Amino acid sequence: MSGNCAYGEEITDYGCHKTNQDCGINMKFQKLYKVLLLEYSYPVSRCMQRCVCDKNAYIGNGRKCIKKEFLGQQKATMVK
């Protein structure tokens, strides 16, 4: 599933292995919460992960993340 998610998309991740892994261009999975399941003979962790912009330099724009400076240039161009 890595690389195929949209900005803001949430997934269930058994084992919580996807935290901080790429989920799209300029995006990484961020752990929302973690639950320890004891339904089996061994404990299993389950995380809810959200695809978010990778760094502070990027901002969500629709289903993807773009550089903040690019978004500012778009607005300036539209005003002219």
Q: β-strand 22-24 against 10-14: which pairing, if any? A: unpaired
Domain-by-domain residue ranges, the chain? 10-79
Question: How many Å apart are CA 8 and CA 53, to the nearest integer?
Answer: 9
CB 34 within 8 A of CB 47: yes
Confidence of residue 10 (pLDDT cuts 50, 70, 90): very high
Q: What is the pLDDT of residue 70?
A: 74
Q: What is the pLDDT of residue 59?
A: 93
Mean pLDDT value across residues 15-29: 95
Question: How many Å apart are CA 19 and CA 51, to the nearest integer?
Answer: 10
- Enter the pTM of the model: 0.77
pLDDT at 71 over 90: no
